Amino acid sequence: MKFLSLVGNSFGCSASGERLVSAARDGDVQEAKALLEYNPRLARYSTFGVRNSPLHYSAAHGHHEIVYLLLESGVDINLRNYRGQTALMQACQHGHWEVVQTLIIFNANIYKADYLNGGTALHLAALNGHTRCIRLLLADCIPSIPNFWNVLQIDDYESIADFDQSGLREVINGTADGGTTALHMAALNGHVETVQLLLELGASVSEVTVEDGTTIDLIGFGSTPLHYAACGGNAQCCQLLIAKGASLTSRNANGSTPLMVARSWNKNGLEDILKAPPTEHLQVLPSPYLSLPLMSIVKIARECGWRTSELAPTCLDPCVVCLERKCMVAVEGCDHEFCTQCALYLCSTNSTSTTVNGPPGSIACPLCRHSIVSFVKLPDTRPLPKGTQRTTNLSLTFCSCSSDVLEDSSDMTTPFCKSQSSRGTKTPSSRSFRSLSCQKFPSFRINPSLCLGADVSSSLVPCGSSKNLRSRVARSSAPGFRRSSSDSEKRKSSWFCSLNQSVSTGSGC
């Protein structure tokens, strides 16, 4: 079992599993849907060595429809590959925000770290500057209230009910190997919008890297995010950090200040910024990615669904954005109605504030430009039914003969006959993934000596066959019968003819 956990499930059902992997990689929704309907356990398949599942491939390539399909089939959303990365990490690394949105609605774990450098999904998103993915990762941490941005500026978190400030700070300031935070990575690579959002949400400008014996820090251990920004050479990142209180005189383990780091990396354009503190206080505008209504719509999507195929009745007005689906939510304030999927898209893609006299972080209503802070459910919006449970055990087994065909041992002694009590239609087993259009063959016992040209056993003769057929079979199996090649062929031919006749006339059933 340890060997299988190392190499993955590539031994079981490898042909169908590789087809599903190819469909997940290429975005072939129809192929993936057909394979999962045939065998939902294929969702748990993983390739040899790297242990990437179809969920990893579809998330890394941004195929959010296949990700949704796999999650509905019951796959483990926090499944890891050989590096310890989950599908959420790979989606954040490549910036596929639609995949991140789907995984967050399905309650993916944002705290898991990989095995190589201890980085989480937040670190990977910050490293590559995917600000929209960062905002979706923190959907459960930022409440949908009008004055949230003002509370962030004065650190008055006690005035907000049910707000976990420590939980938000723990996520934002979480460290990977070497003590690097998401702010370190974003500042080093010059991602201004990411640095701005992290600073607004409480990222610490005084967090320093540490020497852990495994990480090589070319800037020097004990460096702050400003040291990393100076190494990256982005002036706006340095200005944002200084405006939030980053120290210009802090020294790392090498005794270098941010100015000295900039000079050592030939970032001469930062001399004026890092030489002395600014004479005037820099005013920082709210981040366009704050998106206050996101928490409210994510909660509604989890409770009532968001990828519904229910169309609006002809007598009612559909969603004004897609003109197809039924309205399920309304804007708190202007009361304009939308479907859940369009409301999610509106909150996830907003990157600018165009509202009139709206609080910072609100988004504009596409109909009246009213500021949207939160969404509410419509009175006729019902939660998802909880009657259907997803499959929990999707582990693959080695390919073997199906045990469903031979599940009733009593049929082994009555080959072609059916008892009177079993004439009703048998409901297929819940563990069977065969198509319902396939009929189960009648089970019977085959004498192994038949393969060697032995006599035909009378137990293979249908119970309802005629006496002539039985007599022919009895004569062919007499002790004085000579086994020449021609006679053997005649015997086999006569047996198959008799068998075909009994099956075609239905006398054997």
Residues 70 and 138 in one domain: yes
Tell me what the pLDDT averaged over the chain comes to.
76
User: 3-class SS at 327?
Assistant: coil
Residues 165 and 21 in one domain: yes
Report residue 381's pLDDT band, with 50, 70 and 90 as the boundaries. confident
User: pLDDT higher for 156 or 13?
Assistant: 156
The one-letter amino acid code at 235 reads A
Q: How far apart are CA 344 and CA 350, in angstroms?
A: 10
User: 3-class SS at 210?
Assistant: coil
Q: How far apart are CA 139 and CA 143, in angstroms?
A: 8
Is residue 63 predicted with pLDDT exceeding 90? yes
**How many structural domains comprise the chain?**
3
| Closest C-alpha to 180, from 221, 214, 141, 213 | 221
Residues 261 and 310 in one domain: no
Is residue 414 predicted with pLDDT exceeding 60? no
66 within 8 A of 33, measured Cβ to Cβ: no
Place of tokens 């002036």: 235
Write down the pLDDT at residue 263. Answer: 94
Q: How far apart are CA 84 and CA 86, in angstroms?
A: 7
Q: Calculate the CA dihedral of residues 348, 354, 357, 361 and round it to 10 degrees.
A: 30
**Is 411 domain-assigned?**
no
The model's pLDDT over 83-95, given as tens digits with 9 standing for 90+, comes to 999 999 999 999 9
The one-letter amino acid code at 480 reads G
**Is 470 domain-assigned?**
yes
Q: Give the domain extent around 174.
A: 2-275
User: pLDDT higher for 496 or 97?
Assistant: 97
Residues 182 and 311 in one domain: no
Could you give phi then psi for residue 77, rounded to 5 degrees?
A: -70, -25
Report residue 338's pLDDT band, with 50, 70 and 90 as the boundaries. very high
Residues 212 and 319 in one domain: no
**Is 414 domain-assigned?**
no
**Is 416 domain-assigned?**
no
Is residue 354 predicted with pLDDT exceeding 60? no
**Is 486 domain-assigned?**
no
Is residue 176 predicted with pLDDT exceeding 70? yes
The pLDDT of 154-178, averaged and rounded, is 81
The pLDDT of 140-158, averaged and rounded, is 80
Domain containing 59 — which CATH number?
A: 1.25.40.20
Structural domain ending residue among the three candidates 377, 397, 429: 377
Half-sphere exposure of 9 (CA within 13 A, CB side): 24
Report residue 158's pLDDT band, with 50, 70 and 90 as the boundaries. low
Residues 51 and 190 in one domain: yes
Pair of tokens at residue 243: 């405006």
Domain containing 371 — which CATH number?
A: 3.30.40.10
**Is 197 domain-assigned?**
yes
Q: What angle do CA 219, 224, 230 make, to 5 degrees?
A: 60
The model's pLDDT over 28-56, given as tens digits with 9 standing for 90+, comes to 999 988 988 888 888 777 775 567 889 99
Q: How far apart are CA 326 and CA 309, in angstroms?
A: 9
Write down the pLDDT at residue 508. Answer: 44
Q: How far apart are CA 44 and CA 76, in angstroms?
A: 8
Structural domain ending residue among the three candidates 350, 377, 404: 377
Lowest pLDDT segment from 117-121, 311-315, 360-364: 311-315
User: pLDDT higher for 274 or 426?
Assistant: 274
Residue 331, H or E segment: strand 329-331
Helices 64-72/97-105 angle, 10° precision: 20
**Is 423 domain-assigned?**
no
Residues 252 and 304 in one domain: no
Residues 85 and 157 in one domain: yes
Residue 364, H or E segment: strand 363-364
Structural domain ending residue among the three candidates 211, 241, 275: 275
Place of tokens 């954040």: 92
Is residue 494 predicted with pLDDT exceeding 60? no
The pLDDT of 403-421, averaged and rounded, is 38
339 within 8 A of 326, measured Cβ to Cβ: yes
Residues 269 and 329 in one domain: no
Write down the pLDDT at residue 13. Answer: 55
Report residue 353's pLDDT band, with 50, 70 and 90 as the boundaries. low
Residues 267 and 299 in one domain: no
3-class secondary structure per residue, 243-261:
HCCCCCCCCCCCCCCHHHH
User: pLDDT higher for 458 or 379?
Assistant: 379
Residues 301 and 162 in one domain: no
Residues 56 and 138 in one domain: yes
Q: What angle do CA 136, 225, 212 make, to 5 degrees?
A: 95
**Is 45 domain-assigned?**
yes
Is residue 276 predicted with pLDDT exceeding 70? yes
